[in-house]
Structure 1
Amino acid sequence: MIRKGFIMNVNPDKHAEYEQRHNEIWPELIDALREHGASNYSIFLDQDTSKLFGYVEIEDEDKWSKMPTTAINQKWWEFMEPLMETNADNSPVTIPLKEVFHMD
């Protein structure tokens, strides 16, 4: 299992809506995430800075790298774009983090 941590930014006035949309996440998006090897996926919010910390475990980098090209992922990015800092293709601006410690 490969552990991935990353940071994103949610708009300061969109915290509640961001959380609500994730509380109602589409089952077909969850299915696609699992099909692309994701598990144990969590996102945390620092309300003071509007920073999101994401953590996901994946099976394989190549399999995971195909997730952004799926139609359901593209639809989700478009749905979430008004709430967060995004790139031109609607993908969230994401800063990958280097793992420096892990304990089982």
Structure 2
Amino acid sequence: MRNLTNASNIWNALHGILCVHKPRDMSLGALKRYLVSRICENANGLCLPAQIPLMEVPIVEPHPVSQAPVVVGLRKQPDYKYCKRYLPLGCCIATVSFD
């Protein structure tokens, strides 16, 4: 048995001949739905979601009297510099760096 650790290995393992014992009281459609649901359930357990790195950015609000920008806290949001490797958009994403 091969080690099925990612989606491409799972997909390659599904090509070929598959021998299945069909019970007498189960229809062919029900068996197909059962196999597909079990394969998807187990494959989803193997493939972990992509971890997009987070960055802390300041929360800025205007001062009530002078309307000057005031930092009131920090929030975490996705670091968009790393989104290219997770989204298959190609040239549609530009990297902006303020370093």
Structure-2-length-normalised TM-score: 0.26
Q: Which has the higher strand share?
A: 1
Structure-1-length-normalised TM-score: 0.25
Q: Which has the larger radius of gyration?
A: 2
Q: Identify the structure with bigger relative contact order (alpha carbons < 8 Å, sequence gap 6+).
A: 1
Q: Which has the higher helix share?
A: 1
